[in-house]
Amino acid sequence: MTRVTVTVRPKEGILDPQGEALRRSLAAGGQPVVAVRAGKVFDVEIEAASDAEALALAERIAGDVLANPLIEEHRVALAAEERVG
């Protein structure tokens, strides 16, 4: 089993109203935040013979389903050992 992390975020230049609302809220609270882009993270567990095969499959799933290429870009990576905070 290979764990792959897929990150989806609004494409450069696409207005992100959610991120903009967050920025405004943080700025109103006195935080020195100049920009926020809101995206999504998916942890996907894949049955694959190798990491490369898992990554290739995740790339296809990300492009076909998890992201809408008209407005979003995606990145796939093997899941790092994460420390849950």
Partner 1 sequence: MSIRVGVVTFPGSCDDRDALRAVELVGGEPAPLWHADDDLQGADAVIVPGGFSYGDYLRPGALAARSPVMRAIVRHARDGGPVLGVCNGFQVLTEAGLLPGVLRPNAGLRFRCHDVALRVQRPSPWLPERGPGDLLEIPMKHHDGCYFADPASVAELDHHGQVLLRYEPNPNGSVDAIACVTNREGNVAGLMPHPEHAVDPLLGSADGRVLLAGLLGLARTPAAA
Residues that bind partner 1 (CB under 8 A): 14-15, 17-18, 21, 65-66, 68, 70-71
- Pick between residue 6 and residue 54 the one whose CB is nearest to partner 1: 6
Order of all β-strands in the sheet with 72-78: 40-46, 2-10, 72-78
Q: How far is the CB of 80 from partner 1 (least distance, A)?
A: 24
Gap between the Cα atoms of 19 and 22, Å rounded: 5
- Pick between residue 64 and residue 82 the one whose CB is nearest to partner 1: 64
Q: How far is the CB of 64 from partner 1 (least distance, A)?
A: 9
Which two three-digit tokens encode residue 58? Answer: 């995740």
Gap between the Cα atoms of 39 and 14, Å rounded: 12
